[in-house]
Amino acid sequence: MTRAPRPWWRSAVVYQVYIRSFADADGDGVGDVAGLRRRLPYLAELGVDAIWINPWYPSPLRDGGYDVADYRAIDPSLGTLPEAQAMLNEAHASGLRVLLDLVPNHVSDQHAWFRRALEAPPGSPARARFIFRPGCGPTGAEPPNNWTSNFGGSAWTRVADADGRPGEWYLHLFAPEQSDLDWTNSEVRDEFAAIMRFWFDLGIDGFRIDVAHGLAKAEGLPDASTVGWPPPAGEPVEHPHWDRDEVHEIYRAWRALADEYEDPRVFVAEAWVQSPERLARYVRSDELHTAFNFDFLLAPWQAQSIRRSIETTLRTHSAVGASPTWVLSNHDTIREVSRYARRQGVRPLRTLGDLVDLPPDFALGLRRARAAVLLMLALPGGAYVYQGAELGLPEVEDLPVDVLRDPGWELSDHTERGRDGCRVPIPWSGSAPPFGFSPPGASAPPWLPQPAAWSDLTVERQAADPGSTLGLYRRALALRREHPALGGADGDGEGEGDGEGDGGGGEADAAGDGEGEFSWLPAPAGALAFAREPGFACIVNLSADGVTLPSDATLLIASGPLTDDAQVPHDTAVWVTTGPREETPI
Ligand code: GLC
């Protein structure tokens, strides 16, 4: 039997580069392409397979670059296209794939299309690329419907007509400077196909799709009956602009485009949806390749919740033959050290506001974050590492309000501090800010201030300490590459699974992703244990009591020290090799 090689993306570890905060080469306090280029050896040594770069396009920065003014260029403060091409070539030469961020739901108000739409009259083709509507009420002074912006307030802004009189309203599901495109318009579809080809032809390996659940809006734009999204689990809700069925036809067309390339390009969906079942619809075999698993990210650090998330993820992805992904944080969520430092299970912890009244224990948070990454990297499928997670960085919760840049701060009337606290520039070296983020003699400080206490967390410091969080990541990623059960070199193509999943559920459900088969092992209450074939097990102790290792286990790596009698203590994870796994009571 011949086996097709397993596509790289099915088990890739992707490192998220928030470019403005990664490395600053020109000393203006903002990370750039040249900085990233210099740090590629760090990423190759870390052992990740790919990087995903947050938007680097020209942008007025109303929303950290997610307000794109030109999709075919690099923001001058970050570099140039030739520099980006050089970075891409160097990344490829060091074995790293490169994904970009595509923002198809909305464009910046400075984008040529939107400027033209403002100048054009109601009903014109220039306005038809967006969602312009007359207002309600006798004078049109009320917005067309009750939709709200993700950052607070109405999702509609009124524009003036050529004669200066108040005119139509346009839709923006995010900031007013991010006007939604109309995806029923063929010009919009053609333009994004052309943008994708532009970057694919330069050699980019794929795209992360921003707000993939938002492109389709219900015909007639009816009022929404729910405000919050995703709504609490329960009865599925049909929403007029989130996760609509019509969106999938767009992704079928994109998949066909990506598949035209000899080395097919790939997509990862950012889709905030109501359930893993709904998420799996985005990764059907003729749609996007993978999707971020926010259900796993938001699962509290409790054995039952995490097990439930893993089970539903594996079951729903297997049912469509897709590869799952795992993620602990990104540029929109609280860093895992700070999330896990809080009492768990009270409410989902996604934004700073969710932490209110939950006092932190950061040592515990770090301990859990270290255990969580061993858990994540042992699961079948791909994984995402947000820059700084490998250093155990906490959220910066006390940034002075005058440095906050997240539009959520202003648009929520100063009730939500926003996401700047997870976007603080990386500490590379030295004992004082800018910690090597900017070169010596830089003309400006880092665009968000780094805490002085980060002197203990620099790459330089941690690289010299094998017990550091960086050391843990490096060893775990190296083991993952080597071990056949984790899709490592010897296991390439193992258990061919690119076809249809079996749709089965239960304890021994395979992920159907072409990697070492996954099965749960018996474990004491509050602990999780699972095997991957051949001969590998991961044990995660989320309980207060110690957990005994299987008698035939040989330790590969532990997220923290074991006890003197070789037990796995609380909030600790281990990887072991095992003998025949049927005989491994724990
Ligand atoms: C996505 C991005 C987020 C941005 C939003 C609007 O959720 O991850 O940072 O604010 O889309 O583009």
- pLDDT digits 0-9 by tens, 549-559: 988 999 999 99
Residue 50 Cα to chain centre, angstroms: 13
Between these two residues, 510 and 429, which has the higher pLDDT value? 429
Residue 420: C-alpha distances to residues 174, 273, 349, 361 (Å)? 17, 24, 16, 21
**Residue 231 confidence (pLDDT):** 84
Q: Within 10 Å of residue 461's Cβ, how many Cβ atoms?
A: 20
State residue 89 phi and psi, 5-degree precision: -60, -40
Mean pLDDT over 117-135 rounds to 98
Q: Please work out whether the CB of residue 67 comes within 6 Å of at least one atom of ligand 1.
A: no
pLDDT above 90 covers a percentage of the chain that reads 89
516's CB contacts (< 8 A; 6+ apart) are 380, 484, 485, 486, 487, 491, 494, 495, 532, 533, 534, 536
Dist. CA 232 → ligand 1 center (Å)? 21
**Residue 488 confidence (pLDDT):** 74
Whole-angstrom distance, CA of residue 452 vs CA of residue 434: 9
- Give the pair of three-digit tokens for residue 473: 């990541």
H/E run at residue 475: helix 469-482
pTM of the model: 0.95
Least confident residue range of 139-148, 214-223, 315-324, 482-491: 482-491
Q: Please work out whether the CB of residue 422 comes within 6 Å of at least one atom of ligand 1.
A: no
| Nearest-CA residue for atom 3 of ligand 1 | 332
What is the number of the ligand 1 atom nearest to the C-alpha of 272?
Answer: 7
Least confident residue range of 189-198, 407-416, 433-442: 407-416
pLDDT of 336 over the 60 cut: yes
Pocket test for ligand 1, best of 66, 150, 173 (most atoms within 8 A of CB): 66
List, in sequence order, the alpha helices (H) in 23-102. Answer: 33-38, 40-46, 81-93
Dist. CA 81 → ligand 1 center (Å)? 23
Catalogue the active-site residues.
Answer: 210, 260
- pLDDT digits 0-9 by tens, 368-423: 999 999 999 999 999 999 999 999 999 999 999 999 999 999 999 999 999 999 99
Dist. CA 329 → ligand 1 center (Å)? 14
pLDDT of 505 over the 90 cut: no
Mean pLDDT over 118-136 rounds to 98
Whole-angstrom distance, CA of residue 32 vs CA of residue 75: 9
Domains of the chain: 8-104+186-220+246-391 (3.20.20.80), 112-180 (3.90.400.10), 500-583 (2.60.40.1180)
Whole-angstrom distance, CA of residue 316 vs CA of residue 332: 25
Q: What is the DSSP letter of 550?
A: P
pLDDT of 173 over the 70 cut: yes
Q: If you write DSSP's letter for every residue of 321-332 in order, what string do you get?
A: TPPPEEES--TT
Q: Which residue(s) pair with 13 in the sheet? A: 383
pLDDT of 333 over the 70 cut: yes
Whole-angstrom distance, CA of residue 387 vs CA of residue 391: 8
Dist. CA 320 → ligand 1 center (Å)? 27
What is the number of the ligand 1 atom nearest to the C-alpha of 419?
Answer: 9
**Residue 397 confidence (pLDDT):** 97
- pLDDT digits 0-9 by tens, 244-254: 999 999 999 99
Quick one: which of 331, 55, 414 has its CA closest to 199?
55
- Average pLDDT over the chain, rounded to whole? 93
pLDDT of 104 over the 90 cut: yes
137's CB contacts (< 8 A; 6+ apart) are none
Q: How confident is the model at residue 516 (pLDDT cuts 50, 70, 90)?
A: confident
- pLDDT digits 0-9 by tens, 59-76: 999 999 999 999 999 999
What is the number of the ligand 1 atom nearest to the C-alpha of 173?
Answer: 6
List, in sequence order, the alpha helices (H) in 147-287. Answer: 186-202, 247-259, 276-280
Pocket test for ligand 1, best of 332, 386, 411, 423 (most atoms within 8 A of CB): 332
Q: How confident is the model at residue 579 (pLDDT cuts 50, 70, 90)?
A: confident
pLDDT of 227 over the 90 cut: no
**Residue 3 confidence (pLDDT):** 59
Q: Please work out whether the CB of residue 332 comes within 6 Å of at least one atom of ligand 1.
A: yes
Dist. CA 66 → ligand 1 center (Å)? 6
